[in-house]
Structure 1
Amino acid sequence: MAAASGPVRDLMQHRLERALRERVRYRYVQPRVLREGESFRIQSPCCSRNVDPSGGMIDIALLVPSAAQRWCLSARDHLNGTWVSRFKDEPLDALLDVLCIDNERQFWP
């Protein structure tokens, strides 16, 4: 995937932040979208206190661009300190829906 320029990257970050405001879980906290090269890492305060008893910021998801306007979405395995791929080569809108609804609590522990 070709590297996106600054304004395009800023637009993508804004799009992700806007989508996260519409999520189902933990609507009262403010997640952060951080750029990591071409990828976006999403952090959120740990409201459940399942991962961080003090409620600090934890990694919850990683969006990595794939080929042809597709993306991969990974969840954080906090016990092992690794990313676990959950969805591959999907449209961004579909992955944002999965992330914001998160019925199985894969992302918002």
Structure 2
Amino acid sequence: MIVGSGVNPRRPAHPNDIDRRRIERALKSRDRYRYVSASITLVAGGYLIKSPCCSRNIDTEGGIIEVALLRHDSASGWWKVFRKDHKQCVWKLHSTHRRLAAVTDLLNADPERLFWQ
């Protein structure tokens, strides 16, 4: 470790609060359910995105549902994006991306409504 670099080689790069805020800010530009606030939680290796279920397709009471799970692979540097299969209660790998901006662009557009259900 280089003294004074501020980098801890034992601490993983993700999750971190700077990227959590970056994701939070980016999701304000999404196409679906802009009138509710998504929450981004730090989880091992990434971020969990939750939001109120406005469509009531998943939760008829409009409760908080899991929207996406973002995991950063520190070995490859790629982002893995998972969508929630609410019927089976499992996470399914949706895609991989080199940059976090590509991930938030995907979540913001969501043309097939796989995330913002």
Q: How far is 1:38 from its partner? A: 1.9
1:9 maps to what in 2?
Answer: 16
Match of 1:81 in 2: 89
Residue from 45, 63, 77 that aligns with 1:69: 77
Q: Which has the higher strand share?
A: 1
- 1:68 Cα deviation (Å)? 4.1
Q: Which amino acid aligns with 1:44?
A: S
Q: Could you give the per-residue CA deviations for residues 36-89 of structure 1, whole angstroms, max 9, x where no partner exists?
A: 122100000000000000000000100000244320101000000000101024
1:30 and 2:37 aligned: yes
Aligned with 1:98: secondary structure? helix
2:77 corresponds to 1:98: no
Give unmatched runs, 5+ long, in structure 2: 1-10
Q: Distance in 2 between matches of 1:30 and 1:85?
A: 24
- SS state at 2:58 partner: coil
1:17-56 to 2 correspondences below 5 Å: 17-56=24-63
Larger Rg: 2
Shift of 1:92: 1.4
Structure 1: segments with no counterpart, 5+ residues: none
Percentage of pairs with the same residue: 40
